Structure 1
């Protein structure tokens, strides 16, 4: 071995040769930015800058359902609600590709106002951990915790009477929008018909609003959908890349209900399910296939498609005729399957 030392490069040269500024590798709706060094920046501003339409006709408050992670949910009830008439409970789990969104975003809050009045129900809108900091199954686990919180309220010695005075724990519908629809499906499979592990809480059915399902083989609507769509393929693909469990693909059982490793839903005992999708939504084919397969296996499943409507039409334009029609369909579903 030579004893000759190799001279070090000047410090200035070394620094300039090795130092690189982190650069943005992923961005979602202006509120999530992921950088090359793994750092993540989240904006406190929502991606939907709309005013909160709080006219006092619906009362609301926040509650912590997971103290360890400081996860909260938002409760809503009609201002006219009294203890003389118990109201059904309707979970609304927000969307956002598992990467963005919050119960506190104004578009979410405005839709919950609409739901509370339109359905004459108590609305529960939980947050959940987001990717990529918390990849799946974190969001599914948090959805389950949010429902277990309701059970704790139902059996508590000193419950929150703001909720318990007006809520019918035997009449619960779990609903979700996009990623929230995926969470709702996975809760339906986990809890099974009658939701026995939640007693005395009884889930009567599930409403999947444009559920965010995936798979390694693209559907026709995904492959041929317009790039100008509100939820286009590039964004769908980005959401999945950021949220799939480490080392997995979009055929993971939590993502693809009919994937090669997914449980056999033909033998699953499920509560009634309402599936809703816009006719111009790139997720349409998966939602329709989901409903058709389950119905073909004898499950109580209804499918409603709204011609010409984009992803999330009911929150983007909640006063449209399609959105009003959807509200009526959901209300009928609740009435039909109430305990």
Structure 2
């Protein structure tokens, strides 16, 4: 291999490396846990193709105990990974979403959108919106996926995502304010340690890597400049922060911006003390990760609590 072929163009240690010859190496999210019907954890899963022409797909989870005439809340999950890594099929996300489906007693659709740098932003947003429209196409008893037609309650829909997935969740809810998702009632969204722009107004290297043409006033990464924010297409928002996360201040700014935007819904923010970014994925059975999961499940079940609390 020549020195030119091995020269590193971008490196986000310890998870990702891109070379100047176009090759990429991902060190997170590349393993695949097989889908399983009636698995030992009480959840069944299957993989579906959403758009054959692009390869966009999803993994669907249902509690194995669901009855034939039972309708469950529907959660659409968007994984994190900076827009350049991660997958619904890797162990961290498969296991986390399995637990969410079980504890919330919900149908969960975990979206596999295309990643940068092979597919630069806005591809991730376009794929995610196409996936949401595909999900919505089942709301009137049509569409190809039986699990959605048989078990999903399209009047109880939630979007959930972590890190870059939290950013996608916000942008999907903004899109839903102006674009029709026929037959779907989007009740709420949850952003877990969301990835937004820096509070000093600069554009950081992660965002420029996935969206090289972006500016600091891009509403996709800086919601404060989006005139549609006050019309967010849901009535409830839950934001999770982690005290040691370098994205903490960005999530807090999102909370403060949404609160002052004129949006009239229920806004809740929670912070986990002494934890870092994505701790709930890497240590899901810890006391604080379980507390976060329980609070998320309560949100899906429409429990009302104070708008600011510590986990």
Q: TM-score range by the shorter chain?
A: 0.7 to 0.9
- Alignment-derived partner of residue 188 in structure 1: 173
- Alignment-derived partner of residue 122 in structure 2: 137
CA contact (8 A) 1:31 1:47 kept: no
Kindly state the Cα deviation for residue 25 of structure 1 after the two structures are TM-superposed.
Answer: 1.8
Kindly state the Cα deviation for residue 216 of structure 1 after the two structures are TM-superposed.
Answer: 7.2
- Alignment-derived partner of residue 243 in structure 2: 279
Question: Of 258, 262, 275, which aligns to 1:294?
Answer: 258
Question: Of 206, 213, 217, which aligns to 1:239?
Answer: 206
Q: Which runs of 5+ in 1 are unaligned?
A: 1-18, 220-235
Question: Of 212, 231, 243, which aligns to 2:195?
Answer: 212
Change (3 A) 1:144 1:337: farther
CA contact (8 A) 2:201 2:216 kept: no
Kindly state the Cα deviation for residue 211 of structure 1 after the two structures are TM-superposed.
Answer: 0.7
- Alignment-derived partner of residue 160 in structure 1: 145
Question: Of 5, 9, 23, which aligns to 1:25?
Answer: 9
Kindly state the Cα deviation for residue 36 of structure 1 after the two structures are TM-superposed.
Answer: 2.2
Structure number with larger C-alpha Rg: 1
| Superimposed CA distance per residue, residues 189-235 of structure 1 (whole angstroms, 9 cap, x where no aligned partner) | 1112xx8711212111100011110147269xxxxxxxxxxxxxxxx
Q: Cα RMSD between the aligned structures?
A: 2.8
Q: Does 1:80 align with 2:65?
A: yes
Q: Does 1:66 align with 2:32?
A: no
Q: How does 1:1-339 map to 2 (within 5 A)?
A: 21-22=4-5, 23-28=7-12, 32-37=16-21, 39-43=22-26, 46-47=28-29, 55-155=40-140, 157=142, 159-192=144-177, 197-215=180-198, 217=200, 237-244=204-211, 246-259=212-225, 262-263=226-227, 265-266=229-230, 270-296=234-260, 297=262, 298-336=264-302
Tell which deviates more after alignment, 167-176 or 264-273.
264-273
Is the partner of 1:303 in helix, strand or coil?
strand
Kindly state the Cα deviation for residue 127 of structure 1 after the two structures are TM-superposed.
Answer: 0.8
User: By percentage of residues, which structure has more helix?
Assistant: 1
Matches of 2:47 and 2:228, distance apart in 1: 38
Is the partner of 1:145 in helix, strand or coil?
helix
Matches of 1:326 and 1:179, distance apart in 2: 18
Is the partner of 2:275 in helix, strand or coil?
coil
Change (3 A) 1:82 1:268: closer
CA contact (8 A) 1:48 1:107 kept: no
Change (3 A) 1:291 1:85: same
Report the count of equivalent residues.
Answer: 297
Matches of 1:281 and 1:265, distance apart in 2: 25
| TM-score, L = length of structure 1 | 0.79
Kindly state the Cα deviation for residue 333 of structure 1 after the two structures are TM-superposed.
Answer: 1.5
CA contact (8 A) 2:193 2:248 kept: yes
